[in-house]
Structure 1
Amino acid sequence: MPVADPKPAATGLASAPEGAPTRGPRIVVLAAHPRLDQSRVNRQLMRAARGAGADGSVAVRDLYALYPDYLIDVNAEQAALESARLVVWLHPMQWYGMPPLLKLWLDEVLTLGWAYGQGGDALQGKDVWLVASTGGAESSYHPRGYNRYFFDAFLPPYEQSAVLCGMRFLPPLVLHGAHQASDATIAAHAATFADRLERYPDWDELQGLEACPACEVPPSERPHVNLADAA
């Protein structure tokens, strides 16, 4: 029987030696898999991320381990993102989107006045990277496949969520057909993931990538919200 990965620290932040200035991770991986003990792909990707961040530059936050009761510590999650330059959304696709706890994370953590809207610039200029896996083969994401659409058709909610917060949405890393993938294929995919984390932001595909488009929410759109309380 596979051994589950150890539960991460409560904050996911690297600890600094006593007396040294506190430094947070450069990359935060938000991992969301409701049944991680049954996972073939995401378990290996989380191990790869922890290995790439052995120097404290990468923090892996296993959301289902941290919040099995779905009671998210918003202050802790926002603090975990402060030093990050890259935020990774790591999860299997479920019903063409993210698992419920990660969606709840977006709902509760990315608040008006903090992540977006007037005064909401805490994430401005950071990057977001979707690292996802699908049960269906790539050929199923086609007008003639049973999923009927190319995979990119399911990405606008991810991209717009990032853009609303002033974050650049990077080209996703996707492993299709996870249920049928060989051990060698999964290992190679995990190695690619670790290499990207270690080399970020020196990726060839980021050369010439457009900056995040402006996406300001007019104050009139939230007339009944006290932004001072939301900050």
Structure 2
Amino acid sequence: MKKVLIIYAHPTEHKSRVNKHLVGALSDVRNVTVNNLYERYPDFYIDVKYEQGLLLKHDVIIWHHPFYWYSAPSLLKEWFDLVLEHGFAYGREGNALEGKIALNCITTGGSESTYETGGLNRFRVSDFLLPFDQSANLCKMKYLEPFVIHGVHLLSDKEIMEYTTKYRTLIDSLAK
């Protein structure tokens, strides 16, 4: 079985209905590690060697976060800047992540129709995630389509549970 690492970054998790359910549903899944960055690094001082060690031990990396201003929360950006360093993740000697699978799991406040060409946000979610795609590519990882949940503020409890089940199914399939 493959090992799955969820790099979870939500600065206001206490306000989140959806992300708490998604992450909570993984607590009993074998070979899944949830690395809660805001819990681990409230001071933003990232332990680079620890984080790199986690990456080395896992086969699938999921960047799980709410969609903040068309990107990720600041601590996840800091994680990218520090952890995926030259000589480790990319460059002539940087092959540590080669062949690993990567993807985003994101939640948005806007409906799916707002993330279409010509919609309110003018672009598709996948367009906004191109820096993640390119980062994975630079690190010689295989980037998969993101798992996206739109309009989280309007979801019923039943819909949240349906998405939670879909996420758990995705994680199970990636771990095979």
TM-score (norm 1): 0.73
Give the match for residue 143 of structure 2: 169
Give the match for residue 132 of structure 1: 106
Asked if the contact 2:4/2:58 (under 8 Å) is kept, the reply is: yes
Q: What residue identity is the alignment partner of 1:93?
A: F
Asked if the contact 2:5/2:35 (under 8 Å) is kept, the reply is: yes
Give the match for residue 6 of structure 2: 29
- 1:113 maps to 2:84: no
Give the match for residue 8 of structure 1: none
Gaps of 5+ in 1: 1-24, 203-231
Pick one of 114, 117, 124 that aligns with 1:143.
117
User: Aligned partners of 1:143, 1:120: CA distance in 2, in Å?
Assistant: 36
User: Aligned partners of 2:93, 2:118: CA distance in 1, in Å?
Assistant: 46
User: Aligned partners of 2:147, 2:117: CA distance in 1, in Å?
Assistant: 21
User: Aligned partners of 2:175, 2:43: CA distance in 1, in Å?
Assistant: 35
Higher relative helix content:
2
Residue 33 of structure 1 and its aligned partner are, at CA, apart by 0.3
Mapping of 1:201-220 within 5 angstroms?
none
Give the match for residue 27 of structure 2: 50
Residues 38-77 of structure 1: CA distance to partner in whole angstroms, max 9, x if unpaired?
A: 10111111111223x2x3x000000000000000000110
Asked if the contact 1:49/1:193 (under 8 Å) is kept, the reply is: no
Pick one of 40, 47, 68 that aligns with 1:73.
47
Q: What residue identity is the alignment partner of 1:159?
A: D
Q: Secondary structure at the match of 1:160?
A: helix
Asked if the contact 1:127/1:169 (under 8 Å) is kept, the reply is: yes
Q: What residue identity is the alignment partner of 2:85?
A: T
Residue 199 of structure 1 and its aligned partner are, at CA, apart by 2.2
Residues 154-209 of structure 1: CA distance to partner in whole angstroms, max 9, x if unpaired?
A: 1211100000000000111100001111111111111111111122255xxxxxxx
User: Aligned partners of 2:86, 2:79: CA distance in 1, in Å?
Assistant: 14
Structure with bigger RCO (C-alpha 8 Å, 6+ apart): 2
Bigger Rg over Cα: 1
TM-score (norm 2): 0.95
Q: Secondary structure at the match of 1:199?
A: helix
Moved segments of 4+, more than 4 Å: none
Asked if the contact 2:5/2:61 (under 8 Å) is kept, the reply is: yes
Asked if the contact 1:130/1:171 (under 8 Å) is kept, the reply is: yes
User: Aligned partners of 1:163, 1:138: CA distance in 2, in Å?
Assistant: 26
